[in-house]
Amino acid sequence: MSDEGNLAKGIDLWGVVALGLGTAVGVSIFSAIAPATAIAGPAMLLSVLVAALPMYLIAVSYAFLGSALPVSGASFAWPARFLHPALGFLIAWARIIANMGAMVVLALVLVRYGSMILPLPVKPTMFAVLVLALLANLFGVHIAATVQKWLLGAMLILFAVFIAWGGSTAVDLSRLQPLFPNGLHGMIAAMPLLMGLFFGIEAATEAGAEVADSRRAIPLGIALSIGSATLLYLAVGFVALGVMGAPALGASEAPILDAAKVFMGPVATPLIVLAAVLSIGKSLNAMFAMFSRSLYAMGTAGMLPAALGRVHPRWQTPHIALLAVFAIGCAGLLLPMELTFLFLAVNIPNLLKYASICLSAARVVERHDDLYEAAAFKFARPTMRTFAYAGAACALALALVGLEADWRPYALLGGWVLAGAAFRWLHTRARG
């Protein structure tokens, strides 16, 4: 039996925006701009817009379902209900590895940036970061949402300083020429590197049962999040290109920091390191909120141990699921500390999740008239179906892109999914 009714509705519209924008604007903005510029040159800015298009398609399905049926653990609950329970389980099961990898990536990059100011032991500091994320989420969703808002606000102020200072004193438009040094092919080839900039925009749907006025706040919050993220990436990328030029920016290992050093001097390192720590910290905070709700939903559905579905009577949070997230993050400290491997391990299950959500949206449009009519956000049925199937096709195609880069995450996930199928079969037999 679900305790969803006992979860506190502690997330308002700006909490939805803080979770979505805060999750998306994390590691990628500090790492993806340089390799994308090396491939596309100044056309990297257009690559950002092209990379955003699949996520805009996917966001339509999230906004539609979030306004029709807000639930906790949406990435499990929607596919399980509208496609098949086994598919919902396997998508959520695969995302255990994805979320483990994401927590490790976030903690690792946060520690690396912090070490630019003060030398830090890597794994002990990563463990301490996981403890802080657990504490921010354990004692009430309103605390996690408040922390998220403060972290996001501080990060946006620091990026605004970077954009205004660099844009007014150091940008030279001649450095944006030629726009297409590697042709249209270069612009398109850079797109997969930039897709990760928009992952997580849908974060608040995972805590849909805890969003106040969810049928309005979720679609509006998703729209504000993805729009704000696009503008932020374009502004930061424009300043970095205008300050350094494409060749220097493409060769940089710390592109935002190197651009800031040109016009900020010695102030650049502490300011950009602080921006990185705030940016990555809020992504990790949101990760705990999202992942715990997925485990919670699977616990209440009887597909994982029922203890994961418990809600603390005082804090009104899924405390056992949050402790499980913390334990999984700690286990992730044993994974290879290779960012390519970890990024692929994160992105593949996320893309499969996006495909399943889009197909769920299509199924609601086609077979569930009551939910379609109840949705506060929707287009006409043919348009909704087109958005849903196009989003699913984009997600599935992009899931295959990384196979050339490293086959190991695919093998790891394949083995993990087989283990999940075996677990579900044994668990079903034991219960039946």
Encode pLDDT of 127-138 as tens digits: 999 999 999 898
**Per-residue confidence at 381, pLDDT binned at 50, 70, 90?**
very high
Residue 151 pLDDT more than 70? yes
- What's the chain's average pLDDT? 87
**Per-residue confidence at 277, pLDDT binned at 50, 70, 90?**
confident
Amino acid letter for position 358: C
Least confident of 86-100, 124-138, 319-333, 380-394: 86-100
Residue 171 pLDDT more than 70? yes
* Residues in a beta bridge with 72: 207
Please give the pLDDT value at position 2. 46
**Per-residue confidence at 297, pLDDT binned at 50, 70, 90?**
confident
Least confident of 75-89, 204-218, 295-309, 400-414: 400-414
Mean pLDDT of 128-154: 87
Query: In Å, how far from its chain's centre is CA 57?
Result: 16
Pick the more confident residue, 77 or 30.
77
Reduced to 3 states, what is the DSSP secondary structure of residue 38?
Answer: helix
Helix (H) or strand (E) holding 185: helix 183-189
Mean pLDDT of 12-34: 81
Distances 56 to 32, 181, 196, 350 between C-alpha atoms, Å = 19, 28, 13, 15
* Calpha distance 275→257 (Å, rounded): 10
Least confident of 11-25, 30-44, 255-269: 11-25
Residue 325 pLDDT more than 70? yes
Residue 201 pLDDT more than 90? no
Please give the pLDDT value at position 56. 93
DSSP 165: H
Residue 17 pLDDT more than 90? no
Mean pLDDT of 423-429: 83
In sequence order, what are the residues at sequence separation of 6 or more whose Cβ sits closer than 8 angstroms to the Cβ of residue 414?
A: none
